[in-house]
Amino acid sequence: MGYNPNKGGIQMSVSDPLNFLLPEDLAARIGDRVRACRLAANLTRKTLAKQSGVPESTLRKFEVTGVISFVSLLQLADALGCMDDFSQLFPVRTAMTIDEFVAPVRKRGRK
C-alpha cells in the first residue's frame, strides 16, 4: 500500500514491503499512513474525527497503535477519500480454466 497524492488514496502493490509484515506491524503502518494522509490534507485529528464520525480518542489510538475497528477504518477512509482502495481487498478469484469455469460454486469450506 502507498499514499498517492495524485489519487488521494492508498494503493497496494505486489512489490510493496507491507505485504511481508505481521498483521500487528501492518496495522501500525496503516495507522501511520492514515496520519500521513490526514496531515497531507491539512486536517487536525479533531477535524477528521468530526468529518468521519470516529471519536478523536479512537483516531489518536489508531494513529499511535494501529488498533481500530474495521467500520471505523472505513469511516476514516471515506472521510480521506480512500474508499475505492478497499475494493482491492479480498478479490473474487476468477476461473482460469474451462474446468474451473464450469465447476459448481462452493458454498462452504472443507473441515
Domains delineated in the chain? 2-102 (1.10.260.40)
- Residues (pLDDT < 50) of the chain are 1-14
Predicted pLDDT at 17: 58
Predicted pLDDT at 76: 97
Predicted pLDDT at 78: 96
Is the pTM higher than 0.85?
no
Count the Cβ atoms, other than its own, within 10 Å of residue 84: 13
Residue 25 host element (H or E): helix 23-40
Helix axes 56-65, 70-79, angle to 10 degrees: 100
Predicted pLDDT at 41: 96
Distance CA 51, CA 110 (A): 43
Helix, strand, or coil (residue 43): coil
Predicted pLDDT at 19: 66
Predicted pLDDT at 99: 75
Helix, strand, or coil (residue 52): helix
